[in-house]
Amino acid sequence: MSETIFYATAGMGRRVEGHALVAKDGFSARYDLDRMRGVFSRPEHKLAGESYVGRVLVLDAAKGGVATAWMLHEMKARGVMPAALVLNAVNPIMVQGAALADFTMISGFDLDITQAVPNGAVVEVEPSGERPFIRVVSP
């Protein structure tokens, strides 16, 4: 049976379930997103043109500057935001932004999570407890 549950080293926020939007690429709210339209806007990004609203984003690493620390809070206030962030590697800004926005995020796997979770799969993200995880509910 192929593995469907992947454990992270850290998590915060609440349990969510939703469709995964997956790419081997980074995440920065300022650099990558048109936050008004809710789409990836940086032309070089592998998800350019895709909507992230309500999706569980499964990406490689937090990128860029410090703006995301405010921006997740701003995005949540307008209701135009992902359901959760699942990253191979975070930086402090992503953690700070998720903390202020009370947003769901897990990170740090012993494999490349962007290769493990199928794009479009229904996934469950459970950030609490000693072993936060993402589970593929249906590919």
Partner 1 sequence: MQLTDEEEAMRAGTMGPAVQMAIEHQIKVGRYLGAEDFVPVGQAHIMADTESLGVAGVEWLERLARLPAQHRRVRIPTITDPRGTDFAAAQRLKQQPWMVELEQRAVTAFEALGVLMTNTCINYQTIMPPVLGEHVAYGDTGVVIYCNSVCGARSNFEGGPSALSAGLTGRTPRYGYHLDERRQATLVIEVSHTPHELNEWGALGGIVGRLAGDYWQVPALVGIDRVPGSDEMKHFGAALASYGSVALFHIVGVTPEAQYMSDVLPAGRDLPTHEVGEEDLRAFAQSYAREIDKVDLVVFSAPQLSLVEMQQVANLLEGRRADIPLFVVTSPQVKPDADRMGLTTRIEAAGGTVLSGMCFYQSYAREMAEANGWKRLATNSAKLVNIIGGYGYRPALLSMEACIATACAGGRMTS
The footprint of partner 1 on residues 88-107 (CB under 8 A) is 89-93, 95-97, 99-100
Q: Is 74 in the site for partner 1 (CB under 8 A)?
A: yes
C-alpha 95/C-alpha 98 separation (Å) is 5
> In which region does residue 128 sit, left (phi positive, over 0), alpha (psi from -120 to 50) or beta (all else)?
beta
Contact stretch for partner 1 (CB under 8 A) within 16-24, 50-58, 59-67, 117-125: 59-67
Displacement of CA 125 from its chain's centroid (Å): 10
Site string for partner 1, 25-54 (x = CB under 8 A): -x---xxxxx------xxxx----------
Q: Which two tokens stand for residue 60?
A: 């490689």
Please state the closest distance from residue 122 (CB atom) to partner 1, in A.
Answer: 26
